[in-house]
Amino acid sequence: MDPEVAEKLKICRKQTLLKVLDALDQSPPIYIVWEKATNRYFYKEKNDNPVSVPSKSGIYIFYSLRYQAPVYVGQALNIKRRLGDHCRVSGTSIFKKRWVRHWIGEASSEEDVVSFIHSHMYLKYLLLNFGRCEIESDLVNAWGLHDPGAVDPRIF
């Protein structure tokens, strides 16, 4: 690739990342509420208004409730379905198996894992039709979230 073209692409990616970070800063946090008795979960805003997560493509970020710091970045073709995998007791995901279990202990039950997600994290998402993988990669690199050990468990 021509060095001049490569430099222009690098600049465009940095500009895109700045726009994504600005959009994430402006989007409201979404809290996950789990009704243990009925084993159902739903999403709400800080003022208790229910939120409907769309079945569209984009990126999502889990943040620590205590420090408002990002702890996990993901991308999905269907955000609603992917978040269901993370938030349901019966759902399976790398986020739950590898990341959350690293923070709270490998022997934790599925209920403990889901309870931890609901009580210690909130999320934000951004709808994107294309470039999800690149933006996810740029956010992971910008925040240094390469593996679960990169996140200090005291953040929770």
CATH number reported for the structural domain that contains residue 9 in this entry: 3.40.1440.10
In this model, does residue 127 exceed pLDDT 90? yes
- Tell me what pLDDT residue 48 has: 79
Residue 99, in any domain of the structure: yes
How many domains, the chain? Answer: 1
The answer to whether position 7 is within a domain reads yes
Q: Kindly report the pTM of this predicted structure.
A: 0.87
Domain assignment present for residue 110? The answer is yes
**Structural domain span for residue 24:** 3-151
Q: 32-68, pLDDT tens digit by residue?
A: 887 766 666 778 887 778 888 889 999 999 999 988 8
Contact between 103 and 124 under an 8 Å Cβ cutoff? The reply is: no
Tell me whether residue 156 is in a domain.
no
For 102-141, letters b (16+ CB in 10 Å) and e give: ebbeeebeeeebbbbbbebbbbbbbebeeebeebbebbbe
